[in-house]
Amino acid sequence: MTLKLQMFKLKKYLFTMKKLVVAFALFLVSSWVMAQKQYGEKITETNAVAVAELPKLMQGKKTLDTKLTGKIESVCQKKGCWMQLDLGNGQKMRVKFKDYAFFVPKDAAGKQVVIEGVASKETIDVATLKHYAEDAKKSKEEIAKITQPKEEISFEAKGVIIK
């Protein structure tokens, strides 16, 4: 084989390898983007605070506009119309979605999430607590044990990113 032919084959090979590397890079980027699902209004992860910091941030406040990140503990098993995040202090925070305009997948428990919206301190009445327990597919015995209202921090999300 002549040197000219060898150089031609080498250039052709390098060009093919370059195309493969670019295609692989595009695949990796698109996989990462597709791994994150956006619900509700478009939000970003920028300046998100760990959900465990929320009780401290809410001291002396009834409501707080904020962006949080954490792990989804549970999701409404009827429609995905709420989810719960662990506050890290033995309490859970229920996250509902602004204007009931969007839901999250029912299998999202265990995934990392970024939420943006309004946190608020509220008293949840017994009927609502029982409704949430039914949504979570709790047993009739567990639901019957709910007899007192509960003080908790809740969250109305305008946007959600599930990683």
* CATH of residue 103: 2.40.50
Greater confidence, 119 or 24?
119
Q: Which domain range does residue 8 map to? A: 3-35
3-state secondary structure of 19: helix
| 9/77 same-domain check | no
Distance CA 124, CA 103 (A): 21
- pLDDT at position 34: 47
| 60/134 same-domain check | yes
Average pLDDT, the chain: 86
Contact by Cβ (8 Å): 124, 148: no
- Per-residue pLDDT tens digits for 46-68: 999 999 999 999 999 999 999 99
The one-letter code for the residue type at 85 is L
| Number of domains forming the structure of the chain | 2
Q: Determine what percent of the chain is predicted with pLDDT higher than 70.
A: 80
Q: Which two tokens stand for residue 93?
A: 């925070």
| 91/152 same-domain check | yes
Least confident of 42-56, 79-93, 101-115: 79-93
| 136/114 same-domain check | yes
Greater confidence, 139 or 2?
139
pLDDT at 33 over 60: no
HSE on the CB side for 2, CA within 13 Å?
Answer: 3
Distance CA 54, CA 48 (A): 11
| 21/89 same-domain check | no
**Helices in 36-93 by DSSP H: which ranges?**
54-57
**Burial class for 106, CB neighbours closer than 10 Å (0-12, 13-18, 19+):** middle
- pLDDT at position 20: 55
The one-letter code for the residue type at 101 is A
- Model pTM score: 0.73
